[in-house]
Amino acid sequence: MKAIQVITLTLLSVVAANAQVFMLGKCPQPTVKDNFDVSRYLGKWYEIQKLPTVFQKGECGTATYSPKSPGVISVLNRELLADGTINSIVGSAKQVDPSEPAKLEVSFYESSPPGPYWVLSTDYSGHSLVFSCTDYGLFHAQFAWILSREPTVPDETLEQLHSILAAAGVNVDRLIATNQDEAYCGAMNQ
């Protein structure tokens, strides 16, 4: 038992240093968007806020979704790094269970297992709220993104989306804003 505690504390220390959001216990199971229509979800989304992650270090983040094959969506994530270079990654998302179309699985590397990508809320033309969570035995890692079709979101929309996340057990105080300022992001937002 002591070895498990040491390993767990070591992992939590490493993760905490990288600002990842880990919590004790199993992943919450929030309600997802009813009657999710992936065809209306396609296109470009701007990242407005997110829980900190070890794999996203830049600003001006965008996600672009396009059809790839039946039941599979191409995912292109881009961000502007501090040195002025654009970092991008291409992956794919698929709907696993037709009875829960808002629960997608996304993968960016063939060698890694897909991760959950759950759309909790979207109006398709303005905002999207995405949640992901992975269990690691005694604890779980949470991810969340607030996305918008425009580089900004009205405050009342943010408050509504924060309420949904809080009801799902997400500490909304940990959300960080993504810089989408046109002067800074420039060509990234074209």
Provide the CATH number for the domain around residue 56: 2.40.128.20
User: Which residue is associated with the tokens 């969340």?
Assistant: 144
Name the nearest CA neighbour of 41 among 91, 101, 96. 101
Q: What is the pTM of this model?
A: 0.86
CA–CA separation, 163 and 151 (whole Å): 21
* CA dist 8 → 5, 24, 97, 108, 173 (Å): 5, 11, 33, 26, 24
Q: What is the per-residue pLDDT for 25?
A: 85
CA distance 80 to 151: 14
pLDDT for the residue 57:
86
Residue 110, pLDDT score: 75
DSSP 8-state secondary structure symbol assigned to residue 18:
T
Q: Which two tokens stand for residue 126?
A: 């303005």
Q: Which of 86, 79, 84, 85 is nearest to 56 (CA)?
A: 79
CA distance 134 to 2: 24
Question: Which pLDDT band holds residue 190 (cuts at 50, 70, 90)?
Answer: low
If one counts the domains in the chain, the total is 1
Q: Which domain holds residue 34?
A: 2-189
- Average of pLDDT values for 131-136? 90
Contact 188, 78 (CB under 8 A): yes
The DSSP output letter for 168 is T
pLDDT digits (tens, 9 = 90+) for 75-133: 999 999 999 899 999 999 999 898 999 999 999 987 678 889 999 999 999 999 999 99
- Region 53-76: what's the mean pLDDT? 91
Q: How far apart are CA 30 and CA 118, in angstroms?
A: 9
Determine the Cα–Cα distance for residues 22 and 173; give it in Å rounded to an integer.
14
pLDDT value, residue 21: 74
Which of these ranges, 21-25, 103-107, 164-168, has the smallest mean pLDDT?
Answer: 21-25
